[in-house]
Structures are given as C-alpha cells and as structure tokens.
C-alpha cells in the first residue's frame, strides 16, 4: 500500500533543530501547528503514523508519550529498546512498510539522523518546515533540503514579542 510520506520539522535560521536531545525553544502555537498537521486526516476512519528516532521519543515528556491520535513508531539500533505505547523498528523501510490501510499518511518527525535518511528517499512526498527567524544554541541540525523540492510554498507565519516564524511546504 502506498502512503504519502512527509517530514515535518522546525529549524532556526542556521538549520538548528535540537540541543541536548530537546527542542531549544518553546513556541506553543508552533507545537499546536505540528499537532494539527500530523493528526489531521481526510478519512475520519484513519489515522496518521509518525516516525521518530529514539532521542526524539525520549525528548517528549512522559505524560505526552505516545503522541495521541497518531500511531507512534520509534527507530532505534538497540534490539532491546522498548517504547511504551509505540512500536519500535530498527530500519526506516520497515517502519514505513508497517503502515497498513488504517494509516492515511506518514510523518517523519526527527531527529537529525532520521531526517537525513528520509531526505534520501525518492518517495518522500514533501517537507513541512517551520522556519524560525532566530538563531539558537543547537547541536543537531537539519540536513540540506533536497534540490528536487525547489522553492517552498509559504503557508503563513506568526510573530510575537519573542519570535517570528513562517510555515513553509516543500513539495514535489
């Protein structure tokens, strides 16, 4: 079964996406946008699958794991690793192929190594990027967006006293 595969990520102006296994910012409206995009389905009988690396999984506060209303999948190299409320896989292809007909779309949500793997896939449908117009102290970075996606579509943005950002979509 074929599914649309998307990456969704927020990055600062230096493509920073994380620091010490956590988000280096707290932007409530951007978190709501992430939740809305990754939970919305056209078919109310279906849900979306989200794929994340172990570090990203562990960065989600335990009361919020698994991320609700989505099938959660964790990628890890450790064959003993257990993610309560999520399935674990050791390979991105296995994780993607775990999506059955109850799944509408697949969203890869991080981190850096997982984004690198999904950006190399020819079947990646699109990338949702929240571009944060600040720089932060980061130790994890978003790989370069593949040139095959061209220029992004601006889906809007927000600004408050602390930060401004734009929601961009890179599609094929």
Q: Which of 2, 13, 23, 151 is catalytic?
A: 23
- In the residue annotation, 168 being an active-site residue is answered as no
What CATH code is carried by the domain that includes residue 151? 3.40.430.10
The percentage of the chain sitting over the pLDDT mark of 70, rounded to a whole number, equals 99
> pLDDT at residue 140 above 80?
yes
Domain housing 43: 4-171
What total of structural domains would you count in the chain? Answer: 1
- In the residue annotation, 13 being an active-site residue is answered as no
> pLDDT at residue 1 above 80?
no
Mapping DSSP onto H, E and C, the string for 44-91 reads CCCEEEEEEEHHHHHHCCHHHCCCCCEEEEEECCCCCCCCCCCEEECC
Q: Give mean pLDDT, residues 126-133.
A: 97
Q: Which of 2, 13, 30, 151 is catalytic?
A: 30
70-92 residue pLDDT tens? 999 999 999 999 999 999 999 99
* Global confidence as pTM: 0.96
Give the mean pLDDT of the chain. Answer: 95
């Amino acid at each position: 079964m074929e599914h649309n595969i998307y990456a969704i990520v927020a990055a600062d102006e230096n493509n920073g996406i994380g620091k010490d296994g956590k988000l280096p910012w707290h932007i409530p409206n951007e978190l709501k946008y992430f939740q809305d995009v990754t939970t919305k389905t056209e078919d109310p009988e279906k849900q979306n699958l989200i794929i994340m690396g172990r570090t990203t999984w562990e960065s989600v506060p335990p009361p919020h794991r698994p991320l609700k209303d989505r099938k959660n999948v964790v990628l890890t190299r450790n064959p003993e690793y257990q993610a309560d409320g999520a399935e674990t896989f050791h390979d991105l292809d296995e994780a993607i192929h775990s999506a059955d007909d109850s799944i509408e779309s697949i969203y890869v949500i991080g981190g850096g190594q997982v984004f690198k793997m999904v950006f190399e896939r020819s079947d990646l449908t699109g990338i949702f990027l929240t571009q944060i117009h600040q720089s932060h102290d980061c130790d994890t970075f978003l790989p370069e967006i593949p040139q095959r996606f061209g220029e992004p579509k601006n889906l809007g943005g927000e600004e408050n006293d602390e930060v401004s950002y734009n929601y961009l979509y890179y599609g094929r």
